[in-house]
Amino acid sequence: MPGHDLPGLDERLRQLPAALAVGAPAGLAERIAARGRRRRLRRTGAAAAVAALLAGAVLTRAVLGAC
Amino acid sequence: MADDGFTAFFQDAYPRVVGQLRLLTGDLASAEDAAQEAFVRAASRWRQVARYDQPEAWVRMTAFRLAIDLLRRARRQRGLVARLGAHRERDAELHPQDRAVIEALLRLPLPLREVLVLHHCLDLPVETVAAQTGVSVGTVKSGLSRGRERLAALLAPDPSPAAPPPAPDSEEERHARP
């Protein structure tokens, strides 16, 4: 195929990610970790709320069934 | 507060992931947005992600999916596409040959660009590229062949007028996968 094997293309493609790498700004790791913790807490809180609602529904049904 | 190694993982992997994403997005701001959201997701389930054989691969796959979603949304909003193309000022440090390759990559349809970046730039096996992109190995190989051919044509010193470069917004790109 014409132009399919451009000399050195493979090597240049392999080197590109390193050429474009950018270091993390100071403090970014801590901010990202904190955002991750908040998101995990929100997820856990939401799951606990759903579990509490389900437990309440089951309890109500049991109490009403016993009456 | 102890973070079970997340900060060290982030410091090590973040520059690589951003560099890889820049090949897909063409601009630093979008690459950083996608990378940071992927790392937040990793941090939110770090105990699980840290047990993976390659946590960085999980982050990279998540970030690539986010970046592709971003690019597809941006393409639907042409004004944003123009803005995405306007953030290249920080590439001034690049070697001219590298810049030419990146410009050529960015002219390829997104599905072809994705498989080329994953396989040729990141050195991932075809099977891994297929798993990450959600297509068959044969489809990846076909995309690699066509993408490489177009890339070489775009980079050739005297491109043939019989094979004009494809528009990035071509009919082919509107289809889901390579």
Taking Cα atoms as reference points, which of B79, B162, B150 lies closest to residue B110? B150
Q: Is B65 near chain A, with CB under 8 Å?
A: no
Q: Which residues of A touch B162 (CB under 8 A)?
A: none
This prediction has a pTM of 0.77
In angstroms, the CA B19 to CA A18 distance is 6
Across the interface, do B149 and A13 touch by the CB < 8 Å criterion?
no
Spell out the domain ranges in chain A: 10-66
* pLDDT in the model for residue A1: 41
Contact yes or no for B133/B115 (Cβ under 8 A): yes
**Which residue in the set B23, B40, B155 is minimally distant from A9, CB to CB?**
B155
Q: Which of B25, B45, B101, B113 to mutate to test the interface with A (most CBs of A within 10 A)?
A: B101
Across the interface, do B39 and A23 touch by the CB < 8 Å criterion?
no
Concatenated DSSP letters for B40-94?
HHHHHTHHHHTTSS-HHHHHHHHHHHHHHHHHHHHHHSHHHHHHHTT--GGGTTS
* pLDDT in the model for residue B13: 96
B109 conformational bin, left if phi > 0, alpha if psi -120 to 50, beta if neither: beta
Q: Which amino acid is at B25?
A: T
What spatial distance separates the first Cα and last Cα of chain B, rounded to whole Å?
A: 45
The architecture CATH gives domain B94-178: Orthogonal Bundle (1.10)
Q: Which residues of A touch B101 (CB under 8 A)?
A: 9, 12-13, 16
Contact yes or no for B26/B102 (Cβ under 8 A): yes
In angstroms, the CA B141 to CA B146 distance is 9
Across the interface, do B149 and A4 touch by the CB < 8 Å criterion?
yes
Tokens 């599905």 -> residue = B111
Which residues between 125 and 154 in chain B have a beta carbon less than 8 angstroms from any beta carbon of chain A?
A: 148-149, 151-153
Q: Which residues of B touch A46 (CB under 8 A)?
A: none
The string of pLDDT tens digits covering residues A4-50 is 556 788 888 999 999 889 888 889 999 999 999 999 999 999 999 99
Q: Which residues of A touch B120 (CB under 8 A)?
A: 10, 13-14
**Helix/strand/coil for B16:** helix
* pLDDT in the model for residue B109: 92
Positive or negative torsion for Cα B84, B76, B167, B146:
positive
Give the closest-approach CA distance of B161 to chain A in angstroms: 13
Q: Could you list the pLDDT tens digit for every one of the 178 residues in chain B?
A: 446 899 999 999 999 999 999 999 988 999 999 999 999 999 999 999 999 999 999 999 999 999 999 888 877 776 555 555 555 545 557 788 888 899 999 999 999 999 999 999 999 999 999 998 999 999 999 999 999 999 989 988 765 554 555 555 444 454 445 5
Q: Which residues of B touch A30 (CB under 8 A)?
A: 7
Burial of B15 (0-12, 13-18, 19+ CB in 10 A): middle
Q: What is the DSSP letter of B117?
A: I
Instruction: Give me the phi and psi of A5, to 5 degrees please.
Output: -115, 65
Write out the residues of chain A at the interface with chain B, using a CB-CB cutoff of 8 A.
1-6, 9-10, 12-24, 28-30, 32-33, 35-37, 39-40, 43
